[in-house]
Structure 1
Amino acid sequence: MAQQSDIYAKGHRGPIAWFRSGEPMIWLNAAAVSICVIAVLGLILLLAVRGLSHFWPRNVMAVTSSYQGQQKPLLGEVVEQVQVSGEQLSEAGIELQGPGPFYGRSLVKQGNRDYLGSDFVWVLDEQMSDPSWPRDIVVVERLEWGNFYGQLVSVEADGEMLADATQPEQLWQAFQAQIADTLEVRKEIHGIERIEIGAINHQMERLRLRERSLQLDGQLDAAAQVELAAERAELDARYQALQSQLQSLYQSIQGASYSARLADGRVVELPVAKVVRAYQPNAMSLWQKCAMYLEKLWEFLSDEPREANTEGGIFPAMFGTVIMVLLMSIMVTPFGVVAAVYLREYARQGFITRTIRVAVNNLAGVPSIVYGVFGLGFFVYFVGGELDQLFFPAALPSPTFGTPGLMWASLTLALLTLPVVIVATEEGLARIPKSIREGSLALGATRAETLWRVVLPMASPAMMTGLILAVARAAGEVAPLMLVGVVKLAPSLPVDGNYPFLHLDQKFMHLGFHIYDVGFQSPNVEAARPLVYATALLLVILIALLNLAAVYLRNHLRERYKSLEN
């Protein structure tokens, strides 16, 4: 009976008592968390759908479009469909035939930019007639001028006809064989140019700097000149041999060509040397399309960009983002921990200490571009210029560290995220009970030993929390990096096989800047749009993976030192 009366009382309490119980705040917090989760999942889903669908090999449609009484054949992929009002079309000067208030409008990727002038064209659905999907339509991805759409007519090699349209199977096989041979040769050319010739150029530059250094020190005597001349002659001989090999490789792929028919009936001849891949989407099965999708997705993750970053891959940007975040983490963690330890464990708690804490908290809210300007002025021009004067005088007036590069970008972001690490670490140190410190001191440990072996290990989860927040902010920053080291296209990675292997003075690519460049600086907006979504999705996944690694390490440390807290 008492239990029933309690339930009856709880069910019939007034609204004031219900608000005082705290349940409205619980529901409000739950709703806010749900909205945030839905927003995040919706953003990721939008990026995934808009970005990953770009790599699916769509069917190619052949239609006849009519505009102002003229019939024009059109060939391409339908990449987007929208509804527009008749009023908007009338204001744009487009004559309408149907009475409907809304009309379908399709964005068709017609490719063939070198012959048609643009990759994309908007066409009203009512202006398209006789749609068909011919199985012999070929999509050719090229190193230049984007995709090519047409019908394959013939394939030649060194002036000899290998196959023509009368033998479609043999024609397609001959075309694929020529592409495969060309790709192998291009891969060999890439290895020679980037690795072997790159290493020779690196050695030639080091030889030039050594000669200049000896000249500045007054030690460039006849014996040194003879030795340098011998080394330079050996490098020149190796370089000439590689150049001859490159010339023969280039000549071996110049003779292959293919002829194709455009939608308007024109037959054009194009070189196979510029082909990345070719496929017939209308004749492909579902499994073949899935295999092609995975191939193109892997190319996006592992290849270099091309066509003003609107084609190809983003591996250099992904690599540059990871290496910069790792260097930033290595730099910011010790400085942040040392500063927090001093403020919490050693500094006298007074007006000056409180002022420093307020300053640190305020630094966390400073706009990132301010850090970029500071990094450019202090790190690049001042510190880098002094380093060039002290350690690299032979390279002057060409700067070595007196120019934006990987090290200065990492230091700038370390300075930007330093307040976050300091605050998180200091809060972790403040949560450690005083009794643990006193117990360690009572057992005979010194203050330094207590700090190093007891306090810091217990505060390590808080340090990792600060590092997680720092990584999440630094990986997505763009504004300061535009001033201190990030470029649109880097010729090589900051890590290679040449001494000193990690080139901290080299400029690099970054996913955040890549998104900005492709989205706002690209001359081909429609082609760049899906890559913006795909790159943004990859940046989110990359940040999540870095954070998950730090979270795992933090949880491991928390479980390890949980017994000490109890």
Structure 2
Amino acid sequence: MSVKQNNLKSWYKSGAPGVWMSGGAVAIAIIMTLGLLAVIATRGLGHFWPADILEADYQVPGQEARVMLGEVVQVEEVPRARLAAAGLPVAEEGGEFMTRELLKVGNRELFGADFTWVVGEWLSNPRKPAGITVLERREWGNFYGNLINVKEGGQVVAEGDAAWSELQQRLDRVDALHAQLVRLEKKDIGRINHGLERIRLEGRKLQLQGKLDADAQAALDARRDALNADYKVLEEQMVALVQQINRDSVTLSASDGRQTEIALGKVVRAFRPNAMSTLDKFGFYAMKLWEFVSDEPREANTEGGIFPAIFGTVLMVMLMAVIVTPFGVIAAVYLREYAHQGALTRVIRIAVNNLAGVPSIVYGVFGLGFFVYVLGGNIDRLFFPESAPAPTFGTPGLMWASLTLAILTLPVVIVATEEGLARIPRAVREGSLALGATKAETLWKVVIPMASPAMMTGLILAVARAAGEVAPLMLVGVVKLAPSLPLNGNYPYLHLDQKIMHLGFHIYDVGFQSPNVEAARPLVYATALLLVIVIALLNLTAVYIRNHLREKYKALDH
């Protein structure tokens, strides 16, 4: 017994229990993280799969039977008493639980809602007809029904079996016309509107400076007339395109027999999931995923893609990194290499560490008060008086959002860089000085390159925190919908004063502010997964650069 006790004491003293506990904690954390990502991926990515459409007879006790048509989204078991308490005519006899199914029935203009709950036991004669057609629309969600005919200018051009192929051909034509219309609106019309606004501001500036004479006014008028003439030509092209887009229509019969005529200009695509093969569904799935990451949002952000949010997130984080890195490095170098290591320096370090724990919304309020109102307002008064009373930089925008995030993540970069500087042996500095280098040259050519991996570590932590922040950005530049990108072909190309979209805020808006909760739920998971992927890619890029620098300066550590 004493031998076992001695062995147990030796085992405890060796530190093995701590190693096993630490390893177990890490393993549990990894398993939980992977499990969370798996749940998010399953619920988010499954939304884009073209699920089969169920058609069944629905008989509520005491009511007339009707046909239900829709996509089964969720199935759950609920207590019989709960359904009875909700006012449903549930019989007292039977099991304790009943099945409840959530159907996406679409046809919002007919039924008032896209989703409805039904009792599974009241569904009978389930079937999946191959001819059920789904129309994915630009507005009002999906429409489910049977294809009746296709019309051109109000005249039927195809019906029956021939209507499906005719519908696909005309949808391809409408897609091409719609792409032309979008290019006209965003590129050409946007360029003209930007030019007209610049002419207006130039005229106002000349007026404030007292230089708006007849010659200057004539030059401005000539430029304005040229742009207006271009606009009239483009306007005629747009009217012609809209007429061509709305020329064709399709008629479908809903589950209750009502027929609805829908203009093809309002339709994104038409498909028949029940008639698709597995290979066809994979192709459709890939197309929907690409649309999600490359297209603009529509239908209150519950349909379409989230490319503006991806672009805004990445651009803002990159600007933040460009701003925070030099300031953080300079502050760390001063505190470690130049400042007298006394009480004041210790107080500054304590203050920096405390700043890392300040709630992010406080930084948002500071950014709104100082950057937007004080700094931005003064910039407008000094450099953009012609824009008054409309603010240019005195309003939330990309620049102020990036600066606010830079202030928020600055303590992380300072602390990480200081730790890296402290690890560099004193002998390296003394050797450089002994060879005749100045202190500045030693710092710039020896110390800072050796500490660059630690700087990159601080930047990685800063990117990880900044990309996921939401609260401060709501105050300093991020909005619900901003489909126009802050980087385009109009001078000055990068519009720092423009508001942007952000993946974190998009998750909040879709999850908590959406008028259609059931439609928005899977997009919350998909967007959250995409945000994790974006952060991981940004961090992997920084890790690659850090590892490259570490290998490059490894010899100097020895």
TM-score by length of 2: 0.98
* Gapped regions of structure 2 (runs ≥ 5): none
Match of 1:39 in 2: 32
Cα deviation, 1:518-564, whole Å, max 9, x if unaligned, reads 00000000000000000000000100010010011101101110100
**1:72 deviation in Å?**
1.9
1:284 and 2:276 equivalent? yes
Counterpart position of 1:30: 23
Using the TM superposition, give the Cα deviation of residue 391 of structure 1 relative to its aligned residue in structure 2, in angstroms: 0.5
After TM superposition, give the deviation of residue 96 of structure 1 in Å: 2.2
Q: CA deviation at 1:159?
A: 2.7
Counterpart pick for 1:388 among 373, 380, 383: 380
Find the counterpart in structure 1 of residue 72 from structure 2. 78
Query: CA–CA distance in 1 between the matches of 2:89 and 2:20?
Result: 55
Residues 469 and 283 (structure 1), Cα distance of their counterparts in 2 relative to 1, 3 Å cut: same
Could you give the per-residue CA deviations for residues 111-167 of structure 1, whole angstroms, max 9, x where no partner exists?
Answer: 0011110000111110111111000000110001000000000001123321112xx
1:10 CA displacement: 9.1
Which one of the candidate residues 134, 138, 147 is aligned to 2:142? 147
1:411–1:364 CA distance, 2 compared to 1 (3 A): same
Aligned counterparts of 2:132 and 2:181: Cα–Cα separation in 1? 31
Q: Decide which of 90, 107, 116 is 1:96's aligned counterpart.
A: 90
Among 9, 19, 41, the residue aligned to 1:16: 9
Deviation string, structure 1 residues 94-124 (Cα, Å, up to 9, x no partner) = 2323511111111100000111100001111
Out of 441, 446, 469, the residue aligned to residue 461 of structure 2 is: 469
One-letter code aligned to 1:439 = G
Q: Which one of 304, 312, 321 corresponds to residue 312 of structure 1? A: 304
- RMSD value, Cα: 1.2
Letter in 2 for 1:141: E
Q: Distance in 1 between matches of 2:193 and 2:131?
A: 47
Residue 151 of structure 2: aligned partner = 156
Q: What is the identity, as a one-letter code, of the residue corresponding to 1:476?
A: G
Query: Alignment partner for residue 196 of structure 2, among 204, 209, 215?
Result: 204
Counterparts of 1:440 and 1:196 in 2: how far apart (Å)?
A: 59
Structure-1 residue corresponding to 2:474: 482
Distance 1:10 1:475, change over 3 A: farther
Distance 1:287 1:551 in 2: 38
CA pair 10-72 structure 1, distance change in 2 beyond 3 A? farther
Count of residues in correspondence between the two structures: 556
From 391, 406, 411, give the equivalent of 2:403: 411
In structure 1, give the amino acid aligned to 2:82. Answer: Q
**Tell me, what secondary structure is at the counterpart of 1:100?**
coil
User: Which stretches of structure 1, 4 residues or longer, exceed 6 Å deviation after superposition?
Assistant: 8-12
Q: Which of 11-20 and 420-429 deviates more?
A: 11-20
Say if 2:211 is the partner of 1:219.
Answer: yes
Alignment partners' CA distance in 1, 2:23 and 2:246: 66
Distance across 1 between alignment mates of 2:167 and 2:326: 58
Aligned counterpart, 2:294: 302
- Residue 86 of structure 1 aligns with an amino acid whose one-letter code is R
Output the CA distance in 1 between the equivalents of 2:157 and 2:294: 33
> Does the CA-based 8 Å contact 2:296-2:483 persist in structure 1?
no
Instruction: Please state how far the C-alpha of 1:15 moved relative to its aligned partner.
Output: 2.5
SS, match of residue 354 in structure 1: helix
Question: In structure 1, how many angstroms separate the alpha carbons of the residues matched to 2:75 and 2:319?
Answer: 45
Report how far residue 17 of structure 1 moved.
2.3
Q: Distance in 1 between matches of 2:469 and 2:5?
A: 54
Aligned match for 2:510, one of 512, 518, 540: 518
Shift of 1:68: 4.1
Which residues of 2 match residues 162-181 of structure 1 at below 5 A? 162-165=157-160, 168=161, 170-181=162-173
Letter in 2 for 1:131: P
Aligned to 1:493: 485
State the shift of 1:11 in Å: 7.5
SS at match of 1:529: helix
SS of the residue aligned with 2:45? helix
* Partner AA of 1:447 in structure 2: K
Q: Secondary structure at the match of 2:149?
A: strand
SS in 2 for 1:457: helix
1:482-530 residue CA offsets vs partner (Å, 9 max, x unmatched): 0000000014100000000000000000000000000000000000000
Query: In the TM superposition, what are the counterparts of 1:538-549 in structure 2 within 5 Å?
Result: 538-549=530-541
One-letter identity of the residue aligned with 1:352: L
CA distance in 2, matches of 1:532, 1:145: 20
Q: In structure 1, how many angstroms separate the alpha carbons of the residues matched to 2:62 and 2:276?
A: 36
Residues 1:60 and 2:48 are matched in the alignment: no
Q: Distance in 2 between matches of 1:253 and 1:427?
A: 63
Partner of 1:69: 62
Amino acid aligned to 1:43: L
Indicate how the Cα distance of structure 1 residues 349 and 246 shifts in structure 2: closer, same or farther if over 3 A, else same.
same
Residue in structure 1 matched with residue 127 of structure 2 by the alignment? 132
1:336 match: secondary structure:
helix
Which amino acid is the alignment partner of residue 454 of structure 1?
V
**Deviation per residue, 1:334-373 (Å, 9 max, x gap):** 0000000000000000000000000000000000000000
* Partner in structure 2 of residue 377 of structure 1: 369
Q: What amino acid is aligned across from residue 50 of structure 1 in structure 2?
A: R
Q: Verify the 8 A CA contact 2:308 2:483 in the aligned structure 1.
A: no
1:111 aligns with 2:106: yes
Alignment-mate amino acid for residue 348 of structure 1 = H
Secondary structure at 2:59 match in 1: strand
Cα distance in 2 between the residues matched to 1:91 and 1:266: 33
Query: Distance between the aligned counterparts of 1:339 and 1:301, measured in 2?
Result: 39
Q: How far has the Cα of 1:49 moved from its partner?
A: 0.1
Moved more, 401-410 or 87-96: 87-96
Identify if the C-alpha distance between structure 1 residues 230 and 123 changes in structure 2 by more than 3 Å, giving closer, same or farther: same
In 1, distance between residues paired with 2:402 and 2:336? 27
Task: Decide whether the 8 Å contact of 2:189 with 2:234 is kept in 1.
Answer: yes
- Aligned equivalents of 1:225, 1:202: Cα separation in 2: 19
Is 1:359 paired with 2:354? no
Mapped to 2, the partners of 1:13 and 1:26 lie a distance apart of 20
Give the counterpart letter for 1:20 in structure 2: K
In the TM superposition, what whole-angstrom CA distance separates every residue of 1:70-91 from its partner, at most 9, and x where no partner exists? 2121100001111111222222
Q: What one-letter code is carried by the residue in structure 1 that aligns with 2:108?
A: R
Corresponding residue of 2:557 = 565
Q: Give the Cα–Cα distance (whole angstroms) in 2 for the partners of residues 419 and 86 of structure 1.
A: 57
Amino acid at match of 1:208: R
Report the 3-state secondary structure (helix = DSSP H, G, I; strand = E; otherwise coil) of the residue aligned with 1:339. Answer: helix
Please state if 1:187 is matched with 2:182: no
Is contact 2:396–2:499 with CA below 8 Å preserved after alignment?
yes
* TM-score normalised per structure 1: 0.97
Aligned equivalents of 2:98, 2:418: Cα separation in 1: 62
